[in-house]
């Protein structure tokens, strides 16, 4: 209920100067990705899944974490602050 996923395949992307297959995962969340310690744990799990499912080496994957505040996400005609 609180996770949304967008997949954009077939895009040209260059990572570390190479256009070989690669992936970028962008994770934004309220209160779950707000510290280095949390993101270190999330990163390890995401890399495990992405390398297994996509067949990419970890050097071909980048994860970007964005912490959000409840007032930054709108849902059900209000913002998460009030839900």
Bridge partners, 62 (sequence order): 24
pLDDT of residue 1: 66
Cα–Cα distance for residue pair 58/16, rounded to 1 Å: 12
The predicted structure's pLDDT at residue 57: 97
What are the domain boundaries of the chain?
A: 23-82
The pLDDT value given to residue 65: 95
pTM assigned to the model: 0.87
**Contact in structure between 76 and 83 (CB atoms under 8 Å):** yes
Superfamily of domain 23-82: Macrophage Migration Inhibitory Factor (3.30.429.10)
The secondary structure of residue 76, as a DSSP letter, is T
pLDDT in tens, the chain (83 residues): 667 778 898 899 999 999 999 999 999 999 899 999 999 999 999 999 999 999 999 999 999 999 999 999 999 999 999 99
């Amino acid at each position: 209920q609180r996770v949304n996923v967008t997949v954009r395949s077939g895009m040209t992307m260059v990572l570390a100067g190479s256009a070989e297959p690669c992936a970028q995962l962008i994770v934004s969340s309220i209160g779950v990705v707000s510290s280095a310690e949390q993101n270190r744990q999330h990163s390890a799990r995401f890399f495990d899944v992405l390398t297994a499912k996509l067949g990419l080496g970890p050097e071909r994957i980048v994860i970007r974490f964005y912490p959000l505040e409840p007032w930054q996400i709108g849902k059900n005609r209000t913002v998460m602050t009030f839900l």
